[in-house]
Amino acid sequence: MSRAAKAVAAPDLGAPAAFVLLRHGETALTPEKRFSGSGGSDPELSETGRRQAERTAAALAERGTVEAIVSSPLKRCRQTADTVAARLGLDVTIDDGLRETDFGAWEGLTFKDVRERFPDDMDAWLASPEAAPTGGGESFAAVAERVAVTRDRLTAAYRGRTVLLVSHVTPVKTLVRLALGAPAEALFRMELAAASLTEIAYYADGNASVRFLNETAHLR
């Protein structure tokens, strides 16, 4: 190898920690687009959601790359994770850092409901990641801080391995946003379907690469 080639050769960072991010399957609230966070009724998967979990499990089994499973503690994620775990023969680790945003008084309401009942709070929430939902909810800034801490802990624990993280819309979008170095408003510009798959690779030098986003082919 020439001296010039040696100068530009990239360091060997080893295999990254690869996070396959799975949004839980549908609940009864999902098709109605109601706020469903960590401060609400903790709904179960619907019949559609259970079918989605089964199809996702089959697709992940076919890929054969997942080595561990970590899930949000909320019921819809645990049910989704358990379905995949049964198919892959793996255990599920619960991590509270993967839980959904607490939407406070907005839990169970539609966007229209919130706009009508709490217009000023809604405007503030849409304008700033520091603003929290009415009634002691969790701001996007608070979620980002929690998710970043969780990311760092899990990447250290699973360096060089492929891990399935079963979580929710906001944590998954936040991980993507942080990986891309995108602003907070990027959360409103991503589509993330129920039971969709997203993957991010995290390297030892701190860099991250989004491999794919909102993959749903396995559900068709």
Give me the active site residues, please: 24, 100
Using alpha carbons, select from 167, 152, 44, 150 the residue that is nearest to residue 101: 167
Phi, psi angles (nearest 5°) of residue 199? -135, 135
Distance CA 140, CA 21 (A): 19
Six token digits for residue 44? 């179960």
DSSP 60-74: HHHH----EEEE-SS
Query: What is the identity of the amino acid at 147?
Result: V
Residue 23 β-bridge partners: 167
- CB 165, CB 19: distance < 8 Å: yes
